[in-house]
Each structure stands twice: as C-alpha cells, then as structure tokens.
Amino acid sequence: MKSDQETHPRVILHIGLHKTGTRFLQREVFGQLNQEQFNYNPEPLWPELRQAVRRPGDAELAARAREAVAQWRASGDYRTLVLSEPHISGDMYGNHHDYAKNLELVRELFPEARIIFFVRKQSDWLQSAYRQHLVKGKPIPIEVFLNFYHGEFRPRVAREVYGARNVEALSLRFLEIYRAYARTFGPDRVCLLRQEDLRKRSAEVKALIAGLLGLDSLPEPPREKRHNRSYSALAIHLFHPSVLLRYPRPGPENARGRRIPQWLNDILGPLRRLRRNIIQHVFDRIMYKDWDLLARHGMRERIEAHYAEENAEMERIASAILENGPAAAAENRGEGTQAPRREKE
C-alpha cells in the first residue's frame, strides 16, 4: 500500500517577490537539491505555468498549464515538486495588481501546496526595481520611474510614460499578497520571509526552508558563487546620463511615448547588451561606488513613513514564522484581517 506522500506528492511553491534573493534561491538552494528526491522546475510543467502567470486571464495559457499539471499528476513521479516562479506574485512593474488572478490559478492547480513568499522593505525594493529597469529599459530619472513630481508621489497615468515603465511608489501590495495566500491556503502553509533576514539570519532562514522541503539541512553548493549586483549609482550616472534629465509631470499624451522602429532596435540591441556587460563585468567589478538614489527630495523618508505600519507587521509575522514555524503567524493578531481594497488597474 502506498504512503500518503506517494499518493499526494509534496508541492512547494516559491512565488517571489522579484528582487528578494530569487536568483540565490533558484541557483544555490533549489538548483542544488537531490534530483532523485526533488523535481525542480520541470519541463513542460514549469514553462507552461510561467507563461500562464505572466499573462493572467489568458484562457488558452491557463488551459495549457492545467494540462501540464494533469500530465505531471498522471506521470507517477512522486518526487517533491518544487516550483520557483516570482511572476506568480504578479507584475512587479504593475504594482502586482494581477496577483489575485494568479492566486486563483495556482490554488486550482496545487491545492496541497506550501508557499514560500519573500518580501523586502519597500524603499529598498523600489530602488532595486529601478536599477533592474535600467538593465533593459529606457534610462529615465528615478523620479519618473516612481512618479515623483513637484514634491509628491503621484498616481501613474499609464504603464509606460516617456517610453519607459513606471510604478506607483505608495501602492505596493506586499502584506496584502501574504494575507490573501494565508486565507486561501491556510496560514500554517504560507511562509512569509524577508530578504533582510536572508542576509542577517541566513542560517535560520535556510533551516526553515530545509524543514519545508523535509530535509535536515540544505545541500551545500559546490562553491561560493558571485551573483551580479545591481548597477552602482556611479555606473548609472556615467553610462546612462539621461537619468539626469528633468521631465514634467506626464499626461495621457505622454503614455508609452515614441516607439523605436524595429530595424533600429535590432541595431541598438547588441550595443545595449555590450554596455550592460561592461557595467556588470568590468566597471562595477573594478570600481563599485554606490549611494542611495532615494536620498534626493527626501523620497526614502516619505516611502518608509508611508509603509511603517505595514513593515512592522511583516517583520512581526516573518519573525514569528522564522522562530516558531508558519503556524505561529496564525496564533497572533492581524493575520486574518481583510486587506485594504484598491481600485482596479
């Protein structure tokens, strides 16, 4: 007679966020797991899921993800399934407005799953998201990226303005996402962890993840790997001087902006990749000089004051989970409260 584990294989979902140590988790943790015991981001299941959560609401992509999951369940593969896909938590440049659609889909596909959800202090996350945007997107001042005009953070008028992506700095949904998953899967099956703790309390975070995976400890990577850091502030200003330009507050007429013709994009693409490689692998490795891009105009202070209560709550929940397991979060106040309602995007 088969055990319960053989009948219902364990499923672990790491849902993000982006910019919270995802590359480390994927390469140094999940990528090192014993393949005889763990099935990490397998094909075709993971690619189909990735496409579906990148385009929430696309019925055809969701159907393909369902079929891939059905094939996996019928395959007789009873290894622990580990899926790491930060797009599940939503569009990072859209303030994760679509997370609820993805939550509905993954709840349908993996009702037995245990969830790993990493967050980060919003001010640091926003600065990291801006630096990530500069890797492939049009260089714009951080004020334009965060919609900071005339001394205030403003609602964005479109997904793209002046030809570049932008976000609403004061509309992030980190705690809201956690609460939605805790209500859906149960708080004892959702681990809220902080990127700050991954750095400062690394051993405890790794021990918790090992426990979720059913291991005594995580496997040691073969060697210490060096991950690419975000662009330094000096490199940004030297290689992307247009970030020093001043833009007026955009209106509807500035949505998207001029589109580069495809033929010109084909020429500029290799040059952008060359610039990116020079910054990451040459300049920043020789002289990494950085400073706080949010220091201007007191933007950091405004952001941190806005999220102070939410950050305190996330730290409380994450600490309780780290010290006593995910069930500890449900025993304290606040977990079951309704998240604030937001306007649809």
CATH number at residue 137: 3.40.50.300
* 228 band by pLDDT with thresholds 50, 70 and 90: low
pLDDT-derived band at 221, boundaries 50, 70, 90: confident
Q: Is residue 345 part of a domain?
A: no
pLDDT in tens, 289-313: 999 999 999 999 999 999 999 999 9
Mean pLDDT of all residues in 179-193: 96
Predicted local distance difference test score (pLDDT) of residue 304:
98
Specify the pLDDT at position 229: 74
Residue 341 lies in a domain: no
Task: Indicate whether 344 belongs to any domain.
Answer: no
pLDDT tens per residue across span 170-181: 999 999 999 999
Is it the case that residue 8 has pLDDT exceeding 70?
no
Three-state SS annotation for the chain: CCCHHHHCCCEEEECCCCCCCHHHHHHHHHHHCCCCCEEECCCCHHHHHHHHHHCCCCHHHHHHHHHHHHHHHHCCCCCEEEEECHHHHCCHHHCCCCHHHHHHHHHHHCCCCEEEEEECCHHHHHHHHHHHHHHHCCCCCHHHHCCEECCEECCCCCCEECCEECCCCCCCCHHHHHHHHHHHHCHHHEEEEEHHHHHHCHHHHHHHHHHHCCCCCCCCCCCCCCCCCCCCHHHHHHHCHHHHCCCCCCCHHHECCCCCCHHHHHHHHHHHHHHHHHHHHHHHHHCCCCCCCCCHHHHHHHHHHHCHHHHHHHHHHHHHHHHHCCHHHHHCCCCCCCCCCCCCC
pLDDT in the model for residue 330: 66
Question: Does residue 337 belong to any structural domain of this protein?
Answer: no
Across residues 15-22, what is the average pLDDT?
Answer: 95
Q: What is the pLDDT of residues 82-103, one digit of tens each?
A: 999 999 999 999 999 999 999 9
pLDDT in tens, 329-338: 766 544 444 4
Tally the domains of the chain: 1
**pLDDT confidence of residue 250:** 93
Q: Is residue 340 part of a domain?
A: no
Residue 17, domain extent? 4-331
pLDDT of residue 343: 40
In a domain, 140, yes or no: yes
User: Mean pLDDT over all residues of the chain?
Assistant: 89
